[in-house]
Amino acid sequence: MSLLIKNGRVITASEDYIADVFIEGEKISKIGKNLDVKADETIDSSGKLVMPGGIDPHVHLDMPFMGTFSSDSYEQEHAQRFTAEQQL
């Protein structure tokens, strides 16, 4: 499965720019402007932040609470795609 995230504000450890991110399987294979690739799914991220490889450090996974645990596990969290929903 492939995914193309288009027109997002890409933020890396050293750069901040508008670009597309192409993901094949579970790996980022290309980052660039106006990528000409065929993808199984395309997401328009205009006005959104995209942080390739970003991990939210403040999560409560498998957290015990009042005799139960949170519904998300580490495996579920890391299997999900990460696209920031914060408006610019």
Residue ranges making up the domain that contains 43: 2-79
**Domain-located, residue 41:** yes
Q: Look at residue 88 and tell me if it is in a domain.
A: no
Residue 86 lies in a domain: no
pLDDT-wise least confident of 11-15, 39-43, 65-69: 65-69
Domain tally, the chain: 1
pTM for this structure? Answer: 0.63
Higher pLDDT, 77 or 49: 49
Confidence of residue 61 (pLDDT cuts 50, 70, 90): low
User: Residue 45, Cα to own-chain centre: how many angstroms?
Assistant: 10
CB burial of 26-61 (b: ≥16 within 10 Å; e: otherwise) equals: eeeeebeeebeeebeeebebeebbbbeeeeeeeeee
Average pLDDT of the chain to the nearest whole number:
79
Query: CATH number of the domain that 16 lies in?
Result: 2.30.40.10
* 53, 32 contact by CB (below 8 A): no
